[in-house]
Chains A and B, each alone.
Chain A
Amino acid sequence: MTELIVHQHWFLWMTLLPLGAAVATFLAPRQARWIGFTTALLLLLCALLAIAAAIISKAQTITAGNWSTPLGIELRADGLALVMLAITALVGFIVSCYALSYFPARGHHQSRTHYFWPLWLFLWGGCNALFISADLFNLYVTLELVTLASVALIALEGGKAALAAALRYLFIGLLGSLAYLLGVGILYATYATVDIALLGDMLSATRLNHAAMSLMVAGLVLKSALFPLHFWLPQAHAKAPAPVSAVLSALVIKCAYVILLRLWFEVFPALETIAVGHLLGLLGSLAIIWGSLMALRQERLKLLIAYSTVAQIGYLFLVFPLARSQTMAAAWVAGVLMMMAHACGKAAMFMVAGTIHHTAGSDRISRLAGAGGPIGVLVVVFTLAATTIIGLPPSGGFFAKWLFINAALVTGQWWYLPIILSGTLLAGAYIARVLGWAFLDVKRSSYPVIPWVMKWPPLVLSVIALLFGLIAFEPVQIALIGAPVSTGVLVELRP
């Protein structure tokens, strides 16, 4: 039994399965819902088995060998890939459950249901393929798959605003991909390989390589919506249907970021990255402040959550200036932890916003006034999920911030401290604003009953988000398998 678990290439199945299911749901739209749900369940199972295999075998990195010559595809499942596959499976499974109810089988929006499942499974397969890709070109291809599927999903809502948002997202996505591809082209022209590990060994600090790095970083920054290139995000995330917003915010943004993380720690170490790191840190800081201030001003729940994503992306980019020789692991783990925690929390928040919109007929925050009964429960779920966004213990966001502050102190980059701390307070303020409305005592007519699949999945995810800090030990250990960092995670400051 153990043999069987260890020697299966679970991560390979996790790529092929959703792609196959996407085709199946496209061909048989009437069966789309149950095919989609079964696939989601299987993927969750595969993720658990993949993790079990990693724990049992204590493998450094699993590589699917001998693929490179004919197909030009190299795959590997290191710790980072494993945790991303797993968190995608978890969020994906719960979003799939939610979507079962959000996109009903019958009714006048039937076509949305028919298009949602193939696109979503396609997106899922793309994400999984991206996480296990080990070369730059393959990363490009998978990132494009993800972008195209996302564009179509945003447009699913129909209407002028959604189409405009989708189109803008498409153009931005293509621009980002082009910049990235140009960088890959330059590297390929010089070294005749796109393999991450090989490039990491060969790269030297030439001017051309720095140009390539700048292009690739710029492209990925655009795709991950770092301030001031975030302008496309709030509309795109707020106009999409709730399950799509959840996936975009929790997973799609992270795809570009994971590539950047891999490049930064595995390909670029030989280059002069300190100035770029500072620039990314500066933009990240501005993102935290700007995103939070904008979130504080929003009248609509989904826009508030979208701007909160802008701010949270800012934290992810603090990894780059904070990862110095001594604090490499602290910053890297902080980034990975932040990604996982944000994925759970943000997906839950978008789903709750979707349910509130569905039930109350609008996602205006003022509509929450006097929210008792079912809406009151939703507000509680929303708040639980928001703990990780604010960074309150015991959420994952809390420990990620702990590591960020630790790294900032040890590397003497104290100017990030007020940013991190005020970001926390601002997040507290915009969440408290939502709560304040909900506790206001106003008499109001009762709302219709909410189907349980619209209530329970977000609750599960938000409880995981809340308690993530308490269970973070194993995920962090797994993420560190084959990680490009080797120092201690908590670093001490010695005079």
Chain B
Amino acid sequence: MNDLILLAILLSSLLPGLIIFTLPEESVRLRTTLNLTGALLKLLLVAVLFLRVAQREYAELRLPLLPDMELVLRADALSLLFLTLSAFLWFLTTIYAIGYLEGSPHRSRFFGFFSLCVCATTGIALSGDMVTFIIFYEALTISTYPLIVHRGTPAALSAGRVYLAYTLSGGVVLFFATVWLRSIAGPLDFTSGGVVSGLDPALYGSLSIIFALLILSLGVKAALVPLHIWLPSAMVAPAPVSALLHAVAVVKAGAFGIIRVIHDIFGLDFSIKLNLLFPLALLAAFTIIYGSIRALSQNDLKRRLAFSTVSQVSYILLGVAMATPLATIGGMVHLVHQGVMKITLFFCAGNLAETLDIHKIDEMDGVGRRMPWTMTAFTIGALGMIGLPPLAGFISKWYLGLGSLAAGQPWIIVVLIASTLLNAAYFLPILHRVWFVEPRQDWPPSTLYSGRETTWALLAPPLVTAILVILLGILAHSVGSPLYWVELIAAREDGL
């Protein structure tokens, strides 16, 4: 029963979470130990699993739920892409959150739900069929809510209500579409090539509707316009939660689900045959442009970053919807690249808020001199987002561009160029302010040892991820890089 490792990976965040709930507020050391032990253990287990999957040893665990229905945990190459990303970024976010929330109330509650959130994300990555996927997908919805409303202010509560309204509605539609598909197509195990291609052509009409319902319901979490409203409003949450929402868990769960539906439920060939992907490509392209345009006019830093996420996550969907090998690779690798870049930016935004109480972009004049390391990380993240070579974002855009040419859809190149210009238009002015405008004088000087700009717990995570943004770009073609892994997925599972 080697496959119990799947269960162990889930428990490595579930158990610490449950224990943390019962801890009193004051036991900081025990809570921190539990958090970090869980996160490290998980990284270790994921590494073991990663090596196994690299050697084509797929792990699987089944548990009967109802007669004819099973809970399926399964690790394939695509699971590992998402799993490794979330396990690694969770580790950093945990360190960051410990530093960020130091001394604030309700920390046991926060870290408890934080762990549950990651457990749910892990479950999503390891789901082997649609039933299991829905179970963890909804668990993620619920466990994120307490984190969004964590501050308990009326604004936070109203953001929480918006979030629940959108995600629960999406969840209900997802549920309905899945039951419908299950009653047409039988068991919905994720299988490369899909499970519906053998069905009676009389069902193609229903299948197209089901496909649309699945994509739209998953599109709520993936923040497809016009289902994205909850994401910018959720920026009232503390910075580690934003990192979780934007990079590790929630929007990624939506994008990952869409990849699963297209590749492993409907199958690429079948989706192309029914012409299902073109509308998605259009919607993704629109979202990319719309998100960027809205980002331009935001003065709140986190809000601008949120609209940037709306735009950037749709790169993943655009790549997958183009369905050529290169574009698919570009889209899937952006799942990782966007995560690493966006988490850097949110960590930095959190540092500004926590250290200097800066929330608005017009308060950022010259802040590069007060917090040089944070702002260096921010700059790398922002340049990566714009797609400057040789950073991570460039790799994604390069493959997406090549893919669109291969797909014979050159209009997508236009979208990519327009989006890059818009990215530059909303990130470069920030960088200009940060580095080249005279600083304000009223910031409190650092009280830390040797005048360090902020605590290590807050500074180390963005620096690590910023370095990663560079490495993911430079070392894109080396063994074990996300690009390498995504090419392996494309070759192994989709036969591209």
Residues of A within 8 A of B (CB): 333, 370, 372, 376, 380, 383, 387, 392-394, 398-399, 401-403, 405-406, 409-410, 417, 421, 424-425, 428, 432, 435-436, 439-442, 469-470, 472-473, 476-477, 480, 488-493, 495
Taking a contact as CB atoms under 8 Å apart, the answer to whether B164 and A428 are in contact is: yes
Which residues on A sit within 8 Å (CB–CB) of B173? Answer: 421
Taking a contact as CB atoms under 8 Å apart, the answer to whether A439 and B66 are in contact is: no
Once A387-B142, A425-B168, A440-B157 are accepted as A-B contacts, the answer to whether A409 and B67 lie under 8 Å apart by CB is no
Give Cα A406–Cα B142 distance, bound, in whole angstroms: 25
User: DSSP majority for the A interface?
Assistant: helix
Taking a contact as CB atoms under 8 Å apart, the answer to whether B139 and A393 are in contact is: yes
Additional A-B contact list (9), CB under 8 Å, known A405-B180, A424-B172, A470-B71: A370-B152, A393-B138, A428-B164, A435-B145, A436-B157, A488-B68, A495-B200, A495-B202, A495-B203
Taking a contact as CB atoms under 8 Å apart, the answer to whether A473 and B65 are in contact is: yes
Once A425-B168, A435-B145 are accepted as A-B contacts, the answer to whether A399 and B183 lie under 8 Å apart by CB is no
Closest 5 CB pairs of A and B: A441-B152, A393-B135, A490-B68, A495-B202, A473-B64
Taking a contact as CB atoms under 8 Å apart, the answer to whether A428 and B168 are in contact is: yes
The one of B68, B157, B186 in contact with A489, judged by C-beta atoms closer than 8 angstroms, is: B68
Give Cα A480–Cα B169 distance, bound, in whole angstroms: 33
Which residues on A sit within 8 Å (CB–CB) of B169? Answer: 425
Which residues on B sit within 8 Å (CB–CB) of A476? Answer: 66-67
Closest chain A residue to B186, Cβ basis: A492
Closest chain A residue to B153, Cβ basis: A441
Taking a contact as CB atoms under 8 Å apart, the answer to whether B152 and A490 are in contact is: no
Which residues on B sit within 8 Å (CB–CB) of A417? Answer: 176
Q: Does B359 contact A (CB under 8 A)?
A: no
User: DSSP majority for the B interface?
Assistant: helix
Taking a contact as CB atoms under 8 Å apart, the answer to whether A409 and B179 are in contact is: yes
Taking a contact as CB atoms under 8 Å apart, the answer to whether A439 and B146 are in contact is: yes
Taking a contact as CB atoms under 8 Å apart, the answer to whether A472 and B66 are in contact is: yes
Which residues on A sit within 8 Å (CB–CB) of B153? Answer: 441
Give Cα A425–Cα B184 distance, bound, in whole angstroms: 25
Give Cα A493–Cα B200 distance, bound, in whole angstroms: 11
Once A394-B135, A406-B182 are accepted as A-B contacts, the answer to whether A490 and B66 lie under 8 Å apart by CB is yes
The one of A409, A428, A489 in contact with B180, judged by C-beta atoms closer than 8 angstroms, is: A409
Closest chain B residue to A407, Cβ basis: B183
11 A-B residue pairings within 8 Å (CB atoms): A387-B142, A393-B134, A394-B135, A421-B173, A425-B172, A441-B151, A441-B153, A472-B65, A473-B65, A488-B67, A493-B184
Which residues on B sit within 8 Å (CB–CB) of A439? Answer: 146, 149-150, 152, 156-157, 160
Binary contact track B42-66/A, C-beta < 8 Å → 1, others 0: 0000000000000000000001111
Closest chain B residue to A401, Cβ basis: B175
Taking a contact as CB atoms under 8 Å apart, the answer to whether A372 and B65 are in contact is: no
Q: What's the least CB distance linking B123 to chain A, in Å?
A: 10
Residues of B within 8 A of A (CB): 21, 63-69, 71, 105-106, 109, 134-135, 138-139, 142, 145-146, 149-154, 156-157, 160-161, 164, 168-169, 171-173, 175-176, 179-180, 182-184, 186, 200, 202-203
Give Cα A473–Cα B176 distance, bound, in whole angstroms: 22
Q: What's the least CB distance linking B177 to chain A, in Å?
A: 10
Taking a contact as CB atoms under 8 Å apart, the answer to whether B67 and A490 are in contact is: yes
Q: What's the least CB distance linking B14 to chain A, in Å?
A: 12
Give Cα A489–Cα B203 distance, bound, in whole angstroms: 22
Residue of B66, B68, B109 ringed by the most chain A CB atoms within 10 A: B66
Closest chain B residue to A410, Cβ basis: B183
Taking a contact as CB atoms under 8 Å apart, the answer to whether A492 and B71 are in contact is: no
Once A376-B109, A432-B161, A473-B66 are accepted as A-B contacts, the answer to whether A405 and B179 lie under 8 Å apart by CB is yes
Which residues on B sit within 8 Å (CB–CB) of A409? Answer: 179-180, 183
Closest chain B residue to A394, Cβ basis: B135
Taking a contact as CB atoms under 8 Å apart, the answer to whether A392 and B160 are in contact is: no
Which residues on A sit within 8 Å (CB–CB) of B179? Answer: 402, 405-406, 409
The one of B65, B105, B152 in contact with A469, judged by C-beta atoms closer than 8 angstroms, is: B65
Give Cα A424–Cα B171 distance, bound, in whole angstroms: 10
Give Cα A373–Cα B106 distance, bound, in whole angstroms: 9
Taking a contact as CB atoms under 8 Å apart, the answer to whether A399 and B65 are in contact is: yes
Which residues on B sit within 8 Å (CB–CB) of A392? Answer: 138-139, 142, 171
Which residues on B sit within 8 Å (CB–CB) of A440? Answer: 152, 154, 157
Taking a contact as CB atoms under 8 Å apart, the answer to whether A489 and B66 are in contact is: yes
Q: What's the least CB distance linking A26 to chain B, in Å?
A: 41
Give Cα A409–Cα B151 distance, bound, in whole angstroms: 43
Which residues on B sit within 8 Å (CB–CB) of A402? Answer: 175, 179
Taking a contact as CB atoms under 8 Å apart, the answer to whether A470 and B152 are in contact is: no
Taking a contact as CB atoms under 8 Å apart, the answer to whether A491 and B66 are in contact is: no
Q: What's the least CB distance linking B420 to chain A, in Å?
A: 40
Taking a contact as CB atoms under 8 Å apart, the answer to whether B142 and A405 are in contact is: no
Which residues on A sit within 8 Å (CB–CB) of B157? Answer: 436, 439-440
Closest chain A residue to B137, Cβ basis: A393
Give Cα A338–Cα B381 distance, bound, in whole angstroms: 50
Q: What's the least CB distance linking A151 to chain B, in Å?
A: 38
Q: What's the least CB distance linking A379 to chain B, in Å?
A: 10
Give Cα A383–Cα B145 distance, bound, in whole angstroms: 12
Give Cα A179–Cα B172 distance, bound, in whole angstroms: 39
Give Cα A477–Cα B150 distance, bound, in whole angstroms: 42
Which residues on A sit within 8 Å (CB–CB) of B135? Answer: 393-394, 398, 469
Closest chain A residue to B169, Cβ basis: A425
Give Cα A476–Cα B105 distance, bound, in whole angstroms: 44
Which residues on A sit within 8 Å (CB–CB) of B183? Answer: 406, 409-410, 490-493
Give Cα A417–Cα B66 distance, bound, in whole angstroms: 21
The one of B63, B176, B200, B202 in contact with A405, judged by C-beta atoms closer than 8 angstroms, is: B176
Which residues on A sit within 8 Å (CB–CB) of B146? Answer: 439
Closest chain A residue to B134, Cβ basis: A393
Q: What's the least CB distance linking A215 to chain B, in Å?
A: 36
Taking a contact as CB atoms under 8 Å apart, the answer to whether A432 and B164 are in contact is: yes
Closest chain B residue to A476, Cβ basis: B66
Taking a contact as CB atoms under 8 Å apart, the answer to whether A436 and B149 are in contact is: yes
Residue of A387, A424, A436, A488 ringed by the most chain B CB atoms within 10 A: A436
Q: What's the least CB distance linking A269 to chain B, in Å?
A: 22
Give Cα A351–Cα B65 distance, bound, in whole angstroms: 28
Which residues on B sit within 8 Å (CB–CB) of A441? Answer: 151-153
Which residues on A sit within 8 Å (CB–CB) of B200? Answer: 495
Taking a contact as CB atoms under 8 Å apart, the answer to whether A372 and B182 are in contact is: no
Q: What's the least CB distance linking B72 to chain A, in Å?
A: 13
Which residues on A sit within 8 Å (CB–CB) of B186? Answer: 492
Which residues on B sit within 8 Å (CB–CB) of A442? Answer: 152
Give Cα A417–Cα B180 distance, bound, in whole angstroms: 11
Give Cα A435–Cα B113 distance, bound, in whole angstroms: 14
Closest chain B residue to A376, Cβ basis: B109
Q: What's the least CB distance linking A68 to chain B, in Å?
A: 34
Taking a contact as CB atoms under 8 Å apart, the answer to whether B152 and A421 are in contact is: no
Give Cα A268–Cα B8 distance, bound, in whole angstroms: 51
Give Cα A143–Cα B257 distance, bound, in whole angstroms: 49
Which residues on A sit within 8 Å (CB–CB) of B164? Answer: 428, 432
Closest chain A residue to B148, Cβ basis: A439
Give Cα A495–Cα B185 distance, bound, in whole angstroms: 11
Closest chain A residue to B179, Cβ basis: A405
Give Cα A206–Cα B58 distance, bound, in whole angstroms: 62
Once A372-B106, A394-B135, A406-B182 are accepted as A-B contacts, the answer to whether A470 and B176 lie under 8 Å apart by CB is no
Closest chain A residue to B200, Cβ basis: A495
Which residues on A sit within 8 Å (CB–CB) of B71? Answer: 470
The one of B66, B151, B152, B176 in contact with A399, judged by C-beta atoms closer than 8 angstroms, is: B66
Q: What's the least CB distance linking B473 to chain A, in Å?
A: 39
Residue of B169, B172, B173, B183 ringed by the most chain A CB atoms within 10 A: B183
Which residues on B sit within 8 Å (CB–CB) of A406? Answer: 179, 182-183
The one of B21, B65, B161 in contact with A470, judged by C-beta atoms closer than 8 angstroms, is: B65
Give Cα A202–Cα B150 distance, bound, in whole angstroms: 64
Which residues on B sit within 8 Å (CB–CB) of A393? Answer: 134-135, 138-139
Give Cα A371–Cα B175 distance, bound, in whole angstroms: 32
Closest chain A residue to B202, Cβ basis: A495
Closest chain B residue to A372, Cβ basis: B106
Closest chain B residue to A427, Cβ basis: B168
Which residues on A sit within 8 Å (CB–CB) of B182? Answer: 406, 490
Give Cα A490–Cα B178 distance, bound, in whole angstroms: 13
